[in-house]
Structure 1
């Protein structure tokens, strides 16, 4: 008999809500290109002066 492993992601009770695993994965994807040493990297576009 072959053992089956269920490695599928957890299914939330309410499918409109993300699971903790999905939130962690999305957070990684959202910040994958962040550079903590970038100049003004912590500022929003409203805080950076317009040099036009």
Structure 2
């Protein structure tokens, strides 16, 4: 049986999504944020996820 990832690849249903989160506390932040609203850290990690 094919996995979900294989099925999505085969039928071209890949949607990229950008996720940004604070490296200090792990809070998810908007892509426009330069600092974490919870802990005021400027260390924001950006991940491009394709699913």
Identify the structure with bigger relative contact order (alpha carbons < 8 Å, sequence gap 6+). 2
TM over 0.5: no
* Structure (1/2) with the larger helix percentage: 1
* Structure (1/2) with the larger strand percentage: 2
TM-score range, shorter chain: under 0.3
TM-score in terms of structure 2 length: 0.22
TM-score in terms of structure 1 length: 0.22
Q: Look at both structures and tell me which one has the larger radius of gyration over its CA atoms.
A: 1
